[in-house]
Amino acid sequence: MIKNYHIDGNKEMIAIGMMNIAGSCTSCYLTTGPCSRSAVNCNAGCKTAMSNVVMAIAVMFTLLFLTPLFHYTALVVLSAIIIAAMLGLIDYEATIHLWKVDTFDFVVCMSACICVIFGSVEIGLVLAVPTTICHTSCNICYLTTGPFSRSAVKYNAGCKTAMSNVVMAIVVMFTLLFLTPLFHYTALVVLSAIIIAALLGLMNYEAAIHLWKVAISVIRVLLFVARPRTFVQGNLPNSMVYRNVEQYPNASNVPGILILEIDAPIYFANTNYLRKRITRWINDEEDRIKSAGESSLQYVILDMTAVGNIDTNGISMFEEVKKLVDRRGLQLVLANPGSEVMKNMNKSELIEKTCQEWIYLTVADAVAACNFMLHSTKPNPGKYQEPAAWNNV
């Protein structure tokens, strides 16, 4: 995030894809959004999309009239211009901070960065996965694989021990050295028929159906993690229990307090979604209070009972949410964060920066502390308050 701009990766990809589809109809050059161009716009002080129009006109004018002037310009000069602009986007402190908080995220970050710089974006995305990095680094020699067709041939041939691999290697070597010319004029359909005939002997349709069900389940889990549910909690009558107001219609809202429940771990895949959802819940609650003429919203409590873990992107999301509630004069309160969540927050010093005195064991304790502050002091949670009498953590 640069200058508090929130970037939606899905919208960025959709926009680039639509522009390339439209441009392909007129043989237009590929539309991209390279990091160097973003760096130039940022350092030049551009604030709106109008800068793209100015840039397009400048590029067109340069290509039409100024191209001969760059004919003898050394590539190192042009590279220096791009590198100078890129240096402004490199955050060394954030990288060191990432190493201290989560070593795994640091390895992924550095591997992706190095691969993008010396390779391409596609290589960086693929090699960001640690298992792919290990697999690729070990493949110094020719790729060793165990394709399904080879297993089928060995099974149908009655092979029972690993000695069959040695025999197969000798046969393949002998074939490549002396028998290759014999297969030069053999139709590919004949070779394909041999492989297909071997494969049919190992076909297991029940296993294929089971694999399909597993794939659907994995996709469902990924969608649940990427789009976690968030609820507004209310107080059940004659109790200190707080539950989802949609599940329990008799649960009542607490005046001046918004209680939100996050129902999944917080990772890079769902941070933007959660930030938008929390902002939307705050907007909806303020609109409801305004229309009902109730007391103004003062506190936002996040029930983190179901949040099992949080990564560095989630910590950055909390910092953004804290800035949001501070701008609106609200106080952010956390209820029941888990041990892993607290450990990562302590490493990143998020608690000291945001809400050190506003963390409680249960939602009931958090509501009691907020009600105590609402009734004992003048409501102004935007300034620092120390509810030492109620803090149980």
Quick check: 246 pLDDT over 80?
Answer: yes
In terms of domains, do 271 and 366 share one?
A: yes
Tell me, yes or no, whether 140 lies in a domain. Answer: no
Q: Could you read off the pLDDT of 102-121 as tens digits, one per residue?
A: 777 777 777 777 877 777 76
Binning the chain into helix, strand and coil, the percentages to the nearest 5 are 60, 10, 35
DSSP state of 266: B
In terms of domains, do 341 and 239 share one?
A: yes
**What is the token pair recorded at 175?**
């074939």
Tell me, yes or no, whether 242 lies in a domain. Answer: yes
In terms of domains, do 248 and 335 share one?
A: yes
In terms of domains, do 190 and 321 share one?
A: no
Tell me, yes or no, whether 103 lies in a domain. Answer: yes
pLDDT band at residue 156 using 50, 70 and 90 as cut-offs: low
In terms of domains, do 110 and 160 share one?
A: no
Tell me, yes or no, whether 66 lies in a domain. Answer: no
Whole-number average pLDDT of the chain: 75
Domain that holds residue 104: 91-135
Whether 95 contacts 106, CB under 8 Å: yes
In terms of domains, do 320 and 266 share one?
A: yes
Mean pLDDT, range 58-76, rounded to an integer:
80
In terms of domains, do 247 and 362 share one?
A: yes
Tell me, yes or no, whether 207 lies in a domain. Answer: no
Tell me, yes or no, whether 240 lies in a domain. Answer: yes
pLDDT recorded at residue 303: 92
**0.85 exceeded by the pTM?**
no
Q: Could you read off the pLDDT of 158-197 as tens digits, one per residue?
A: 666 767 777 777 776 776 666 666 666 666 666 677 677 6
pLDDT, greater one: 314 or 353? 314
| Percent share of the chain, pLDDT over 90 | 7
- Residue-wise DSSP of 6-43: ---HHHHHHHHHHHHHHHHTTTPPPP---HHHHHHHHH
Tell me, yes or no, whether 393 lies in a domain. Answer: no
pLDDT band at residue 74 using 50, 70 and 90 as cut-offs: confident
In terms of domains, do 191 and 103 share one?
A: no
Residue 125: Cβ within 10 Å count: 13
pLDDT recorded at residue 260: 93
Phi and psi for 2 in degrees, rounded to 5?
-115, 130
Tell me, yes or no, whether 143 lies in a domain. Answer: no
- Domain holding 300: CATH number? 3.30.750.24
Whether 319 contacts 327, CB under 8 Å: no
Quick check: 290 pLDDT over 50?
Answer: yes
In terms of domains, do 183 and 306 share one?
A: no
In terms of domains, do 284 and 186 share one?
A: no
pLDDT recorded at residue 382: 45
In terms of domains, do 266 and 355 share one?
A: yes
Give the number of domains in the chain: 3
In terms of domains, do 171 and 243 share one?
A: no
